[in-house]
Amino acid sequence: MGLFSKIFTNGAKDFISPMTGKVVAMENIPDPAFAQKMMGEGCGIDLTDGTVIAPFDAEVTAAYPTGHAFGLKSKADGTEILIHVGIDTVDLEGEGFDTNIKKGDSVKQGDVLVVVDLEIVRQAGKSLVSPIAFTGDEKVEVYKIGQNITAGEKGLLNYE
């Protein structure tokens, strides 16, 4: 990020919320690997809508055929994140997940990664809390814990 853009954005990255729902602190995610930050810093979103979008322009570094998780690498600064839709949703073997995204794809900010049928996930007894983990050594500051956020909205978090 150049000096000009830092001056006019106060250093904030161009990161939009990839999901709609209530923001959950990382340590309150109902999965020890995420709660103990083994996967990295970040937060979770307890989904109220099933559309998951790209938070920034990125290369898809991982895309599970089940549609429950995606690795993204920012084209702007190389930051890598993992978006994991729900907890233990891999057990659904793709049922209720509609995606065409594959590893190696290029996505633009706001592109749909997956559409999830929340009712199928609920009926399977799986949590809709969906972690966003920064898998590098970024320092992440989450601003909206306990508040609702909409996919595409800025102001969820900042990282450096």
Average pLDDT over all residues of the chain: 93
> Rounded to two decimals, what is the model's pTM?
0.91
| Spans of all domains in the chain | 14-159
Closest CA to 83 of 107, 95, 10, 123: 107
Report the alpha-carbon distance of residue 54 to residue 36 in Å, rounded: 25
Interval 78-115: pLDDT, tens: 999 999 999 999 999 999 999 999 999 999 999 999 99
Is residue 103 helix, strand or coil? coil
Q: Say which residues have a Cβ less than 8 Å from residue 26's Cβ, sequence separation at least 6.
A: 34, 35, 37, 41, 42, 43, 44, 131, 133, 142
Which is the catalytic residue, given 15, 84, 132, 149? 84
Q: Which ranges of the chain does DSSP label H, i.e. alpha helix?
A: 3-9, 32-35, 118-123
Q: How confident is the model at residue 46 (pLDDT cuts 50, 70, 90)?
A: very high
Active site residue 68: no
Please give the CATH number for the structural domain made up of 14-159.
2.70.70.10
Greater confidence, 119 or 13?
119
